[in-house]
Amino acid sequence: MLLTLWPFYQFLWTVYFFIMFMIGFWCIFMFFGWIIPIWLTEGLREYFGKGPKFDPEEVRYKRLYEQEGVEVVYRRPEGEAPVAPAHH
């Protein structure tokens, strides 16, 4: 009985192989065409001190009311926990 489904399975595996093949090549091209050039330019520039100093505070998650140009209409009061779903 399973033998009757063989052509369909063969088709599915062929499609799967083709898709994975394309994804693999995309990853390889992105790594060699995008990631490595960034490492070789920006990374080495920062390492040798040619660019601006890295400030971790610039990339940390900022709360909404800390951002410039943002008006917060409502902010949860300090100490008030978010509402958790009820457990039954």
82 in any annotated domain? no
60 in any annotated domain? no
pLDDT, one tens digit per residue, over 18-51 is: 999 999 999 999 999 999 999 899 888 888 888 8
Q: Is this prediction's pTM over 0.85?
A: no
Pairwise CA distance, residues 40 & 63, whole Å: 33
Full domain range(s) for residue 29: 2-51
**Per-residue tokens: 61:** 């998650």
pLDDT at 60: 73
Q: Are the beta carbons of 66 and 59 closer than 8 angstroms?
A: no
Q: Give 17's Cβ-side CA count (13 Å radius).
A: 6
Percent of the chain scored above 70 by pLDDT?
A: 78
72 in any annotated domain? no
84 in any annotated domain? no
